[in-house]
A and B are shown apart, each in its own frame.
Chain A
Amino acid sequence: MSILVLADLHEGQLAGATAYVIAAAQQIGGDIDVLVAGEGVQAAAEAAAKLDGVSKVRVADNVVYAHQLAEPMGALLVELADGYTHVLASASTTGKNVLPRLAALKDVSQLSDVLAVDSADTFKRPIYAGNAIATVKSDDVLKVITVRTTGFDAVGDGGSATIEAVDTVVDNAQSSFVKQELAESDRPELGGAKVVISGGRGMGNGDNFKLLDGIADKLGAAIGASRAAVDAGFVPNDMQVGQTGKIVAPDLYIAVGISGAIQHLAGMKDSKVIVAINKDDEAPIFQVADYGLVGDLFEFLPEIESKI
């Protein structure tokens, strides 16, 4: 078994998700190489070399891989995939964008959002918004897999893998980067936060989301939102937790003014402890909440902030 992991980058730095993907790769077993591709990614490669379980880090540092556009990344992976039995990436927007291209070009299927490894060819993945878990077996010669990071525990960083440069440079005349607008926040990243507090339509408007700030600051929490709150324009969509947004599994998830639609539950029901605050005591969120508080969130939120 020989596994290639595509490293996740965030603004050129190694993203936390990679350590979870390597944990999944260790469960498959075999040699684990990490590919760091981008522009100016030497620091990310050095960080990847420290992750436990990595044999070798391969670095493709070239302007053509800047912003990890799908076309050059797909072409690069096709060049490098020979000799590997598995290619893994996190189920981030980059992994989801790039890996299916590799799979199609190699004429193999892709397994998306894998949350458990049964063996080197058999995996578990959620279907129907997480309302069913499918066990699937792949007989393809190359297994192309995106990993749902919340299904695994991150590996540590006591490793010392070798770093080698990849000289492969591909052409890309089809796509180019124009601009990006990243939401700025001092809070922990939603996907990796230990505590998440989310607001829904019950928050009433965007200004009221400020009521969550004080609690989030005290708990070191990330702030999320339901799709209803995003669609109503209260908050930007990168805060959305759910089937079509981020999947989170923190130690504590606090749902405020969120009814608990199937699509939202798909994004948070693996949290260790769920607290629901809602004025409707029939709201479906109470069926998954460990602790429910029925009543007016505008009274409860300031009280919680003052008492924690």
Chain B
Amino acid sequence: MKVLVAVKRVIDYNVKIRVKADYSDVDLTNVKMAMNPFCEIAVEEAVRLKERGVATEVVAVTVSPKAAQEQLRTALALGADRAIHIETDERAESLAVAKLLAKVVEEEQPGLVVLGKQAIDTDNNQTGQMLAALTGLPQGTFASEVAVDGDKVNVTREIDGGLQTIALTLPAIVTTDLRLNEPRYAKLPDIMKAKKKPLDVKTPADFGVEVASKVSLLKVESPAERKGGVKVASVDELIDKLKNEAKVL
């Protein structure tokens, strides 16, 4: 079966972000960008399904500005067979991305779609669920184990309080949690080979999807700073401070 994997270009997870002086957004100029960590796990899972002979083809897709072709090439270097870039400079919210991915699902007819559970910039945790709703397919979110068995997939999910295993009919949508796998690094020869792999560029208009959202971003500000604390010299001093100064013991 074919596996579709969605990836997003985001600010590198190690970068300390800066809010713009006019509070309009986070400043992304000259900031290191990378593939969203949950998406890396999604790509790795898709490639492992191919290595196990479950998947026959892995197609990577992104909805983003032109620069994200870098992340699609990364996905290709990690083992995806081809890529689809839906290019837009507009701020694409989860619902618009889900609508575009639904069109790609309709065209490509994958047996499984794998996405990250959330992007580390918007922290929405929505796109996979919305895609499942729009395509009418079942969903296995926050997956820490994915086992394809014939025309079903068993997904072990990380839930509050522990783990839950559900069985879904294929085709299905899966979103990855951190513990699903440990992504590999791309090797130089694979990076070179990835440059020759096919990458289709499309636009939202090709699919007849409006990217504009009814949610507007009014302001972005830094959270309240915690004031620097004190270092204490001993356990006795710590307990004394917690009892008499902070009054939490």
Contact = CB atoms under 8 A, between A and B. Distances in A.
- What size tier do the contact residues of chain A reach? 35 or more
Interface string A201-216: 0000000000000000
Contacts of B238: 275, 291, 293, 304
A269 B227 CA distance: 12
Interface in B157-182: 157-169, 172, 177-179
A271 B223 CA distance: 13
Interface stretch (A21-29, A38-46, A57-65, A168-176): A168-176
A272 B126 contact: no
A139 interface: yes
Interface stretch (B51-59, B188-196, B209-217): B209-217
Contact of B226 (A92, A97, A178, A269): A269
Q: Which 3 A-B pairs have the closest CB atoms?
A: A100-B129, A104-B130, A174-B138
A219 B243 CA distance: 12
A134 interface: yes
Interface in B134-151: 134, 137-139, 141-142, 144
Nearest to B248: A252
Q: DSSP class of B's interface residues: helix, strand, loop or mixed?
A: mixed
A94 B222 CA distance: 29
Interface stretch (A47-55, A107-115, A158-166): A107-115
Interface residues of B, number: 76
Given A101-B130, A291-B232, A176 B166 contact: yes
Interface in A51-85: 67, 69-71, 74
Interface of B: 11, 13-14, 16-17, 19, 26, 93-95, 98, 120-127, 129-134, 137-139, 141-142, 144, 154, 157-169, 172, 177-179, 213-223, 226, 228-232, 234-236, 238-239, 241-242, 246, 248-249
Interface in A294-308: 294, 300, 303-304, 307-308
B13 A263 contact: yes
Given A110-B94, A238-B158, A290-B230, A251 B214 contact: no
Contacts of A251: 248
A230 B121 CA distance: 23
Contacts of B19: 132
B76 to A, nearest CB: 26
Most chain A C-beta atoms within 10 Å of own C-beta, residue among B13, B124, B154, B172? B124
A10 B166 CA distance: 17
A227 interface: yes
Contacts of B165: 177-180
Contacts of B127: 100
Contact of B123 (A97, A100, A127): A127
